[in-house]
Amino acid sequence: MSQNPGTLKKVRSEQADEEVIDAIFTIPNVISFVRLCMVPVFLLLLFGGNDVAAAILFGIASGTDFVDGQIARRTRAVSKLGQILDPAVDRILMITAVLGLLVVGRMPLWIIVLVIVRDLSLLAGGALLLARWRVRVPVIFPGKVATTFLFAGFAGLLLNAPQFPGLGIVDVSWLPGLNAATVSWGIWFVYIGLVMSIATTVFYAYAGARAIVSARCAGAGDETGDRCSS
């Protein structure tokens, strides 16, 4: 049978079309570093009771993720450091936000656990693919949309206003928005983001597994060529 291009070839095609440079001090990398420096400031504002300032700073830190990516592509400044730093800052910002919301009592524990486990798994899996097989699974557009929904939801919960009564469908405290208690509008964005995040995580796992199989086949040479084709 003829070989199916599959997920890995799409990944390699994108990598081939995207010129990656070795530079460290690029504008996108500087933006990512500034975003990283916003994390401790955000926590100080949140724990100091400055909800509005914390929400605004978090919105700036999360919103500039799109900016540095666009600058990198349009100015051909996609760097090896940036490919690691940009998603790492996203994960750090995400984990910091959910932990902060847990401490101030605006998010149930199960959401925090789900977000942290998912993000740490993506970080570890991506690092393993890059270090052992020299393969990078690029972020897909639905993944960016999922992250945007989560960031918007977290900003709403940080702002904590306006609040609306829950739907009253269930009578459990760990499902805000679905119970009758009043809650920030941000919780609905979080739910949408979680559903999309789970779906994209399944894709990333599939793409990563296909990348490993193809990398092993390429390393084995022609002797296993027939077994690696599909």
Residues 6 or more apart in contact with residue 130 via CB below 8 angstroms = 84, 136
Domain parsing of the chain, residue ranges? 6-228
What is the rounded radius of gyration, in angstroms, for the C-alpha atoms of the chain?
20
pLDDT in tens, the chain (230 residues): 444 444 444 444 444 445 788 788 888 888 889 999 999 999 999 999 999 999 999 999 988 877 877 787 788 778 878 777 888 888 889 889 999 999 999 999 999 999 999 988 988 998 888 888 888 888 888 988 998 999 999 999 999 989 999 999 999 999 999 999 999 999 999 999 999 999 999 999 999 999 898 888 887 664 444 556 55
Q: Give the pLDDT confidence score for residue 227 in this predicted structure.
A: 52
3-state secondary structure of 165: coil
H/E element holding 55? helix 51-74
pLDDT at 192: 97
Instruction: Report the amino acid identity of residue 162.
Output: P
Return the CATH class of domain 6-228: mainly alpha
Classify residue 98 by burial, with Cβ atoms within 10 Å: 0-12, 13-18, 19+.
buried
Reduced to 3 states (helix: H, G, I; strand: E, B; else coil), residue 163 is: strand
Whose structure tokens read 């500034």?
34
The phi and psi torsions of 163 (rounded to 5 degrees) equal -110, 150
- Give which of 78, 69, 11 is closest to 35, Cα–Cα: 69
pLDDT of residue 190: 96
What pLDDT is stored for residue 18 in this prediction? Answer: 58
Q: Quick one: tokens of 71? A: 């600058």
Distance from C-alpha of 142 to C-alpha of 207, rounded to nearest angstrom: 14
Query: Can you read off the two tokens belonging to residue 79?
Result: 């760097």
